[in-house]
């Protein structure tokens, strides 16, 4: 029974405290709160005098936001959810709209790229409408007591409230397929949540879909490099900003001079006299620090490119960054990221997650909602007031690898030369924005093949010539 596992569950949560805290930190930084983390690093690694001088020049460039937003595009084009059964199709269409499934998928995609996992929780809102909640991987934990499949969850733990697991009064809701328990992190009873259900899971299934991004483990291993690189880039840029500040001012030095009446101003004049009674000669000079911030920027940008490549992301034609192209910066790198492999894998994961959601979870959850009166039968189509086994399939339109314009042109030319496509298809491939009239105008110009190829490649200029 779950009650007998309370101490084991609390110890399990304690064991994964670092994992949960890292996920919470990643989400906090993604949502925009990077500055305090960089400030803490700078404060601990610099002398107090230097830190106090440059602390207002800390540069919290948040590459984590840009990276995660770039790769979290699985639901930019919604998947197709279909069934051969008319009743089941009506079911999936109804709940896709009610639960705002595609919008929820975009949030889940963000969480999965931040922490390699997320959870979906269908629930009934106060207005009686079905809703879908997305849980980030600092708001829940999963366990397994299965000897046959230890990588599959059999116990789901949801952290209730906003106090965090460091608080002994954190309320825990714990589910198996048949049981439900509620208690606090300090082991205290929460019997008020067990009155109506008597410790039974009335859904008869864990009412969450756990989406993980590592097949052979129950809890995925975090990519600690993501947070490290995010912080390191901002720290290095802040170091460069501090060095740049001090390189703007010369350091004045003097030997055997009286500085009592000397003032620093553009039109100041200092008169230095030697002491006749001394052999010492007054001297004054300056030291101008030099900071090679260009080299720092090159290093930071190359580090970012190298890190992206470890993620299986090709960064267009940027290659190694030198002084000539460092001005392109991180924004251009993000724009040129080829996320084909990342997006393809994500689509495969989400297809499985959604099929679990539709075929295993939602039928039982829906039937309980209807049976318990949580959802009025009149608010759902009559055909789906009660459902049994479902066979819903979820397909995403797989992405195409990113190609440079020169690669795309070369491919089209090659196909034209071996006659696998005609000129009309070639024009539409290179210029999908052209209307049929535009294409026909190019074809009607009766040019030779080389001229026509130039027209295909440089279609926009040719289009303007024909129009005029």
Nearest to 220 by CA among 22, 37, 67: 22
Q: Is the same domain home to 442 and 376?
A: no
Say what the pLDDT of residue 457 is. Answer: 53
pLDDT reading at 460 higher than 50: no
User: In sequence order, what are the beta bridge partners of 140?
Assistant: 158
Residue 448: pLDDT band with limits 50, 70, 90: very low
Q: Is the same domain home to 107 and 126?
A: yes
Residue 466: pLDDT band with limits 50, 70, 90: very low
Q: How many C-beta atoms lie closer than 10 Å to residue 131's C-beta?
A: 15
Domain that holds residue 414: 405-467
Say what the pLDDT of residue 248 is. Answer: 63
Our count of domains for the chain comes to 2
Q: How far apart (Å, rounded) are the C-alpha atoms in residues 154 and 389?
A: 21
pLDDT reading at 318 higher than 70: no
Q: Which residue has the higher pLDDT, 263 or 233?
A: 233
Q: Which of 351, 370, 395 is the last residue of a domain?
A: 395
Calculate mean pLDDT across residues 292-298.
Answer: 76
Measured on CA atoms in the order 419, 420, 421, 422, is the torsion positive or negative?
Answer: positive
| Domain assignment of residue 267, yes or no | no
Calculate mean pLDDT across residues 388-405.
Answer: 80
List Cβ neighbours of 122 (8 Å cut-off, separation of 6 or more). Answer: 99, 130, 131, 132, 133, 207, 361, 362, 365
| Domain assignment of residue 337, yes or no | no
Nearest to 141 by CA among 122, 124, 119, 161: 119
pLDDT reading at 406 higher than 80: no
Calculate mean pLDDT across residues 293-298.
Answer: 77
Say what the pLDDT of residue 402 is. Answer: 61
Residue showing tokens 């295993």: 360
Q: Which of 372, 395, 418 is the last residue of a domain?
A: 395
Q: Which two tokens stand for residue 326?
A: 């460092």
Calculate mean pLDDT across residues 268-280.
Answer: 66
Nearest to 87 by CA among 394, 382, 395, 364: 382
Across the chain, mean pLDDT equals 83
Q: How many C-beta atoms lie closer than 10 Å to residue 304's C-beta?
A: 24
pLDDT digits (tens, 9 = 90+) for 110-126: 999 999 999 999 999 98
Q: Is the same domain home to 375 and 453?
A: no
Q: Which of 26-30, 420-424, 464-468 has the highest mean pLDDT?
A: 26-30
pLDDT digits (tens, 9 = 90+) for 56-99: 989 998 999 989 998 999 999 999 999 999 889 999 999 999 99
Say what the pLDDT of residue 87 is. Answer: 87
Calculate mean pLDDT across residues 314-341.
Answer: 62
Q: How far apart (Å, rounded) are the C-alpha atoms in residues 11 and 13?
A: 5
The residue count for the chain: 468
pLDDT reading at 192 higher than 50: yes
Nearest to 206 by CA among 288, 264, 140: 140
Calculate mean pLDDT across residues 96-115.
Answer: 96
Q: Which residue has the higher pLDDT, 358 or 383?
A: 358
Q: How far apart are the first and last CA of the chain?
A: 82
Residue 409: pLDDT band with limits 50, 70, 90: confident
pLDDT reading at 163 higher than 70: no
Q: Is the same domain home to 389 and 409?
A: no
Q: How far apart (Å, rounded) are the C-alpha atoms in residues 100 and 131?
A: 8
pLDDT reading at 267 higher than 90: no
pLDDT reading at 2 higher than 70: yes
pLDDT reading at 228 higher than 80: yes
| Domain assignment of residue 286, yes or no | no
| Domain assignment of residue 107, yes or no | yes
Calculate mean pLDDT across residues 359-366.
Answer: 94
Q: Is the same domain home to 354 and 455?
A: no
Q: Is the same domain home to 420 and 391?
A: no
For helices 423-430 and 449-457, give the axis angle rounded to 10 degrees.
Answer: 20
Calculate mean pLDDT across residues 307-328.
Answer: 62
Q: Is the same domain home to 382 and 411?
A: no
| Domain assignment of residue 416, yes or no | yes
Q: How far apart (Å, rounded) are the C-alpha atoms in residues 258 and 282?
A: 9
Q: Is the same domain home to 95 and 67?
A: yes
Residue showing tokens 């397909």: 395
| Domain assignment of residue 327, yes or no | no
User: Burial, 122: exposed, middle or buried (Cβ in 10 Å; 0-12, 13-18, 19+)?
Assistant: buried
Q: How far apart (Å, rounded) are the C-alpha atoms in residues 184 and 467?
A: 75
| Domain assignment of residue 317, yes or no | no
Say what the pLDDT of residue 415 is. Answer: 82
Calculate mean pLDDT across residues 172-197.
Answer: 94
Q: Which of 152-166, 194-208, 241-255, 340-354 has the lowest mean pLDDT?
A: 241-255
Q: Is the same domain home to 362 and 410?
A: no
| Domain assignment of residue 414, yes or no | yes
Say what the pLDDT of residue 213 is. Answer: 94
pLDDT reading at 320 higher than 70: no
Q: Which value, in Å, is the radius of gyration of the alpha carbons in the chain? A: 32
Q: How far apart (Å, rounded) are the C-alpha atoms in residues 403 and 412?
A: 12
Nearest to 5 by CA among 208, 164, 149, 176: 176
Q: Which residue has the higher pLDDT, 278 or 183?
A: 183
Q: Is the same domain home to 78 and 119?
A: yes
Nearest to 423 by CA among 399, 395, 450, 388: 450
Q: Is the same domain home to 41 and 82?
A: yes
Q: Which two tokens stand for residue 195?
A: 């009155």
Q: DSSP 3-state assignment of 24?
A: helix
Say what the pLDDT of residue 295 is. Answer: 78
pLDDT reading at 27 higher than 90: yes
Q: Is the same domain home to 461 and 346?
A: no
């Amino acid at each position: 029974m779950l009650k007998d596992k309370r101490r084991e569950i609390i110890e399990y949560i304690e064991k994964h405290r670092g994992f949960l805290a890292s996920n919470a930190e990643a989400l906090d930084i993604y949502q925009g709160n990077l500055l305090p983390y960089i400030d803490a690093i700078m404060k601990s690694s610099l002398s107090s005098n230097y830190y106090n001088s440059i602390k207002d020049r800390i540069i919290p460039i948040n590459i984590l936001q840009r990276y995660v937003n770039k790769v979290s595009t699985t639901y930019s084009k919604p998947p197709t959810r279909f069934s051969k059964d008319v009743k089941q199709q009506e079911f999936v269409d109804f709940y896709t709209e009610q639960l705002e499934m595609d919008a929820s998928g975009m949030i889940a995609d963000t969480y999965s790229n931040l922490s390699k996992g997320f959870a979906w929780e269908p629930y009934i809102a106060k207005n009686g409408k079905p809703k879908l909640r997305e849980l980030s991987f600092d708001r829940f934990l999963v366990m397994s007591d299965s000897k046959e499949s230890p990588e599959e969850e059999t116990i789901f733990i949801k952290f209730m409230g906003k106090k965090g697991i460091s608080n002994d009064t954190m309320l825990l809701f714990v589910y198996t397929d048949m049981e439900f328990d509620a208690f606090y992190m300090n082991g205290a009873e929460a019997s008020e949540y067990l009155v109506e259900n008597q410790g039974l899971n009335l859904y008869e299934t864990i009412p969450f879909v756990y989406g993980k991004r590592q097949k052979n483990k129950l809890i995925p291993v975090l990519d600690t490099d993501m947070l490290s690189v995010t912080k390191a880039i901002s720290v290095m840029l802040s170091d460069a900003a501090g060095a740049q500040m001090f390189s703007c001012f010369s350091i004045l030095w003097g030997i055997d001079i009286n500085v009592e009446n000397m003032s620093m101003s553009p039109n100041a004049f200092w008169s230095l006299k030697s002491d006749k009674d001394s052999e010492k000669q007054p001297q004054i000079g300056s030291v101008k620090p030099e900071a090679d911030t260009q080299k720092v920027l090159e290093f930071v940008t190359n580090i970012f490119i190298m890190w992206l490549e470890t993620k299986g992301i090709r960064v267009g034609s940027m290659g190694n960054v030198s002084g000539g192209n460092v001005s392109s910066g991180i924004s251009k790198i993000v724009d040129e990221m080829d996320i084909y492999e990342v997006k393809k894998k994500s689509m495969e994961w989400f297809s499985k997650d959604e099929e679990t959601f539709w075929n295993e979870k939602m039928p039982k959850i829906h039937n309980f909602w209807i049976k318990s009166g949580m959802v009025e039968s009149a608010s759902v189509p009559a055909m789906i007031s009660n459902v049994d086994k479902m066979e819903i399939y979820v397909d995403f339109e797989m992405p195409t690898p990113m190609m440079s314009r020169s690669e795309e042109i070369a491919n089209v030319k090659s196909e034209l030369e071996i006659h696998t496509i005609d000129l009309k298809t070639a024009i539409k491939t290179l210029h999908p924005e052209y209307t049929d009239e535009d294409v026909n105008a190019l074809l009607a110009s009766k040019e030779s093949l080389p001229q026509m190829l130039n027209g295909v490649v440089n279609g926009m200029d040719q289009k303007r010539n024909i129009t005029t």
